[in-house]
Amino acid sequence: MKLKLICLLTFITLTLNAQYTDVINSNRPGESFGAYSVGTNVLQFETGLAFGKDNHVSPLIPDRTLFEYQYQIRYGLLMERLEVLLDGTFANAEDQLLRGGTQTTSNFSNFESNTLGAKYLLYDPNIQKEIDGPNLYSWKKNNLPQWSDLIPAVSIYAGVNLNFGENPFKFQGEPNASPKAAIITQHNIGRKWVLVSNFIADKPTTDFPTYAGIFTLTHSIYARTGIFAEFQTYISDIYSDEILRGGVAFLAGKNLQVDVSGLVNFKDSPERWRAGIGVSYRIDMHDSDEYIFKDDKERELYLEEREKRRKEKERMRRQNQIN
């Protein structure tokens, strides 16, 4: 039993270092991006449908009913650290305005957002954990949260917003293309908690830039089921708000995840809510792991520690056979 546990812990650490995982790793159902990529040559689709309303206190601003199609297409390109992704939302909207006892309605459809970008992992704390190796004598130290869990993985993201033509979701004078950038951190706390933070500058070169923070806490409650809570804040001259999201994700297979989620906000103009469902699916073309090291010295340390652990496991196996 001890030997099986050691092998399992070693395998889990190795897959984290290589970023590629045996089961799908989806950004859904939250809005934040995780720090890690999907893995080299992995193509992943993350889609969802959401229904909701934006209701305004002012009678001069129309209330809006929205049906949204959300999408992400992610691909691990060239190396384990790098991922390219297309992320966006296409919406069908209906505006209702009551004026003088008469309600007028208008309908339109277009992209609320459509962004092509790339994410690159700058720092992975799991490298040092792999060098140190699992504790062969303490289940507690391998499974419960440790102080080292407070050191996050760090990635950077850069992208371009692409919205062409007449689009009612664009602000007046918004260009067809504008930049977007983010710093992403991810804490894997123990084996059941993950905290992801995104610090975003969206359209900073335009007349109305938006600065946002997204903080997502995920908890695995069963082997295939996880829950999440997420807080997002926007700061902009056009729209500022605080949003709370929550939901459940279920692993239906190693390459398939389904989810249910919703959101509410904290202001009354507009007062917003959404409810949605989603599916994530990956096409796994990953053929070999690329382990990430800072330099040749770190690679040599890793190989030395791996050999030491192999010998220690073999010694414990022989001891278990004697006992």
CATH number of 170's domain: 2.40.160.40
Return d(Cα 42, Cα 289) in angstroms, integer: 12
- Contact between 122 and 152 (Cβ < 8 Å): no
Return d(Cα 153, Cα 159) in angstroms, integer: 20
pTM across the whole model: 0.80
| Cβ count within 10 A of residue 161 | 22
Give a yes or no: residue 67 inside a domain. yes
Give a yes or no: residue 323 inside a domain. no
Give a yes or no: residue 319 inside a domain. no
Give a yes or no: residue 224 inside a domain. yes
Give the model confidence (pLDDT) of 296-318 as tens digits. 777 677 777 777 777 776 776 66
- Contact between 233 and 242 (Cβ < 8 Å): yes
Looking at the 3D structure of the chain, how many domains does it have?
A: 1
Give a yes or no: residue 309 inside a domain. no
Q: What are the start-end ranges of the H helices in the chain? A: 2-17, 126-132, 139-143, 296-322
| Rounded percentage of the chain residues whose pLDDT exceeds 90 | 62
Return d(Cα 296, Cα 222) in angstroms, integer: 39
Of 84-93, 154-163, 262-271, 308-317, minimum mean pLDDT range: 308-317
Task: Dig out the tokens for 311 from the structure.
Answer: 């010998």
- Contact between 155 and 120 (Cβ < 8 Å): yes
Give the model confidence (pLDDT) of 90-107 as tens digits. 999 999 998 877 889 999
Q: In terms of residue numbers, what domain contains 111?
A: 2-292
Give a yes or no: residue 143 inside a domain. yes
Give a yes or no: residue 302 inside a domain. no
Distances (CA, A) of 320 to 1, 3, 4, 8: 9, 9, 12, 17
Give a yes or no: residue 242 inside a domain. yes
Question: In sequence order, what are the residues at sequence separation of 6 or more whose Cβ sits closer than 8 angstroms to the Cβ of residue 306?
Answer: 133
What is the model's pLDDT at position 16? 38
